[in-house]
A = this chain, B = another copy of it.
Amino acid sequence: MHILPIKIYYEDTDAQGVVYYANYLKFFERARTEFLREIGYKQKELMEKGAIFVVREVSVEFKKPASLDQQIEVHTQIIKAGKVSFDFNQEALTKEGNLLCGGVIKCGCLALKDFKPKALPSKLYQGMKSLL
């Protein structure tokens, strides 16, 4: 499982005093980017090869809010790796391990030129498979 530590800044919060709900999806995307980097892929290199990853579906429950200056963690686990799509289980937790929010993020690979489904580079596909 991949773990990304994240610190909460003013930009992440809203007038309720806690993290704005959509921003957890930013944190999840940062974590997926780092997860891919760790298995050898940079989003930018993929884009230069004409492939982009997109989110096809999110299903997330929000349990507790994180607040300013809090140090949290995003846990990322790949749970499905197909030829053109792949799914993650992602959770944001406090340092003490309390669940803030979490759920399933379904992603797909598209061709940058026409946004049509495109097979994952095979080494990336193998890398994901090996982590299932």
Contacts and interface: CB of A to CB of B under 8 A. Distances in A.
A8 B38 CA distance: 16
Contacts of A3: none
A62 B67 contact: no
Contacts of A21: 25, 29, 54-55, 58
Instruction: State the copy count for this chain.
Output: 4
A122 to B, nearest CB: 22
A129 interface: no
Interface stretch (A40-48, A74-82, A88-96): A40-48
Chain A binding surface, main DSSP class = mixed
Nearest to A108: B62
Contacts of A55: 21, 62
Contact of A16 (B54, B56, B59): B54
Contacts of A72: none
